[in-house]
A and B are shown apart, each in its own frame.
Chain A
Amino acid sequence: MVEIRFHGRGGQGTVIASKILADAVSKEDKYVQAFPQFGVERRGAPVFAFIRIDDQPIFIRSKIIAPDHIIVVDPSLIDAIDVTEGLKKGAKILINSGHKPKAFKHLGKKFQIFTIDANEIAIKHKLGSKAAPIVNTAILGAVPRIFDFVKLESIMQAVRDGVPVNPDANADAAREAYESVQGV
Chain B
Amino acid sequence: MKKVMMGNHAISHGATLARVQVIAAYPITPQTQVVELLSEIVADQRLKAEFIKVESEHSAMAACIGASSAGARAFTATSAQGLALMHELLHWAAGARLPIVMADINRAMAPPWTIWTDQNDSLSQRDTGWMQFYCQSNQEVLDSVIMAYKVAEKVLMPVMIVLDAFSLSHTYEIVDLPDQAVVDKYLPPFDYKYKLNVSDPHTYGGLTTPDWYMEFRVKMQEAMDQALVEIKKEAVEFEKAFGRRYDPVEPYMVDDADIVLVTSGTAASTARFAVDQMRKKGKKVGNLRMRLLRPFPFADVREHLKNAKKVIIVDRNISYGYHGIWAQEVKSALYGHSKVPVFNFIAGLGGRDIFPETFVEIVNKVKKLKKPDQELYWVEVKK
The reply to whether the CB of A34 lies closer than 8 angstroms to some CB of chain B is: yes
- Which residues from 171 to 187 on chain B have a C-beta closer than 8 Å to any C-beta of chain A? 171-174
Our pick among A31, A39, A60 for the contact of B273 (Cβ within 8 Å) is A60
Q: How far is the CA of A99 from the CA of B181 in the complex (A)?
A: 55
Q: Mark B113-133, 1 if CB is under 8 A from A, else 0.
A: 001100000000000000000
- Which residues from 20 to 52 on chain A have a C-beta closer than 8 Å to any C-beta of chain B? 22-23, 26, 31-36, 38-40
Q: How far is the CA of A41 from the CA of B178 in the complex (A)?
A: 33
The reply to whether the CB of B266 lies closer than 8 angstroms to some CB of chain A is: yes
Our pick among B2, B171, B267 for the contact of A33 (Cβ within 8 Å) is B171
- Which residues from 222 to 272 on chain B have a C-beta closer than 8 Å to any C-beta of chain A? 266-267, 269-270, 272
Q: How far is the CA of A15 from the CA of B269 in the complex (A)?
A: 23
Please give the distance in Å from B331's CB to the nearest CB on chain A: 26
Residue of A nearest to B167 (CB): A61
The reply to whether the CB of B306 lies closer than 8 angstroms to some CB of chain A is: no
Inter-chain contact B2/A26, CB cutoff 8 Å:
yes
Residue of A nearest to B274 (CB): A60
Inter-chain contact A35/B356, CB cutoff 8 Å:
no
The reply to whether the CB of B134 lies closer than 8 angstroms to some CB of chain A is: no
For A40, list chain B residues within 8 Å (CB). Answer: 115
The reply to whether the CB of A62 lies closer than 8 angstroms to some CB of chain B is: yes
Inter-chain contact B174/A34, CB cutoff 8 Å:
no
Please give the distance in Å from B207's CB to the nearest CB on chain A: 48
For B269, list chain A residues within 8 Å (CB). Answer: 59-61
Please give the distance in Å from A74's CB to the nearest CB on chain B: 21
Most buried by A among B116, B167, B174, B353: B174
Please give the distance in Å from A165's CB to the nearest CB on chain B: 18
Inter-chain contact A34/B167, CB cutoff 8 Å:
no
Inter-chain contact B354/A22, CB cutoff 8 Å:
no
Residue of A nearest to B169 (CB): A38
Our pick among B115, B136, B172 for the contact of A19 (Cβ within 8 Å) is B172
The verdict on A62 contacting B354 (CB below 8 Å), with A19-B4, A26-B2 known, is yes
- Which residues from 274 to 331 on chain B have a C-beta closer than 8 Å to any C-beta of chain A? 276
Q: How far is the CA of A22 from the CA of B168 in the complex (A)?
A: 15
| Total contacting residues, chain A, CB less than 8 A | 21
Inter-chain contact A59/B272, CB cutoff 8 Å:
yes
Interface SS of chain B: mixed
The reply to whether the CB of B170 lies closer than 8 angstroms to some CB of chain A is: yes
Please give the distance in Å from B206's CB to the nearest CB on chain A: 47
Residue of B nearest to A60 (CB): B273
For A38, list chain B residues within 8 Å (CB). Answer: 116, 165-167, 170, 351
Inter-chain contact A35/B270, CB cutoff 8 Å:
no
The verdict on A60 contacting B115 (CB below 8 Å), with A22-B172, A34-B4, A34-B172 known, is no
The verdict on A60 contacting B356 (CB below 8 Å), with A26-B4, A38-B116, A39-B116 known, is yes
Inter-chain contact B174/A26, CB cutoff 8 Å:
yes
The reply to whether the CB of A63 lies closer than 8 angstroms to some CB of chain B is: yes
Please give the distance in Å from A4's CB to the nearest CB on chain B: 14
For A33, list chain B residues within 8 Å (CB). Answer: 171-173
Residue of B nearest to A38 (CB): B166
For B171, list chain A residues within 8 Å (CB). Answer: 33-35, 61
Beyond the given pairs A34-B172, A39-B116, A60-B270, 14 more chain A to chain B contacts, judged by CB atoms under 8 angstroms and listed by A's residue number, are A26-B2, A26-B3, A31-B173, A31-B174, A32-B4, A33-B172, A35-B170, A35-B172, A38-B351, A40-B115, A59-B272, A61-B266, A61-B270, A65-B355
* 4 shortest interchain CB distances as A-B pairs: A38-B166, A35-B171, A60-B273, A59-B273
Q: List 5 A-B contacts (CB under 8 A).
A: A31-B174, A38-B170, A59-B276, A61-B171, A62-B356
